[in-house]
Amino acid sequence: MRKDDFEQVYARYYKAVYAYLMTLCHDSELAADLAQETFYKALRGIGRFQGECPVNVWLCSIAKHALADHYRRHKREAPLPETPPDPPDRDPLPGEKLEQRQGALTLHRALHALPEPYREVFWLRVYGELTFAEIGALHEKTESWARVTYYRARAKLKEALP
């Protein structure tokens, strides 16, 4: 890949890298900073990219290492934030909307309660729309490992949900 192509790579993959970082750190400012750092590191190391994996997997790998470096520098572990419930609306919601909202909140809590790597693999597959091969490559594991981890995550979610 040439440096001239990098502007197109940035335009195409920035949102995906940012979304990936958001699933890991749940902090929009940190995710934005780390996304910028990811592309800076990618630009500096572009000569070493041999195309052995898809570009988005390469970028997400850089992003994951950037987040780990950030936590190491700040001597803390990746937080599992408690998601505060939305404040109640002043007007009562119609029954259907209330049920949907409660269902979404229950699902959101169940997703955040999943242990690693289940949560990350589930998010990458469902929200990041990565293939199992890409997820496996990102974690330096096999495609089969990604499939098994994803299906175990789904099973854990089904157990957690009423």
On whether the 3-73 domain is CATH 3.40.50.2000, my answer is no
Segment 49-62 mean pLDDT: 82
Domain ranges of the chain: 3-73, 105-160
- CA dist., res. 56 & res. 46, Å (int): 13
pLDDT in tens, 73-93: 876 544 544 455 555 555 544
Q: How far apart are the first and last CA of the chain?
A: 49
pLDDT in tens, 112-159: 888 888 888 888 888 777 888 888 888 888 988 988 999 998 888 888
CATH assignment of 105-160, among 3.40.720.10, 1.10.10.10, 3.90.1150.10, 2.30.30.30? 1.10.10.10
- CA dist., res. 162 & res. 158, Å (int): 8
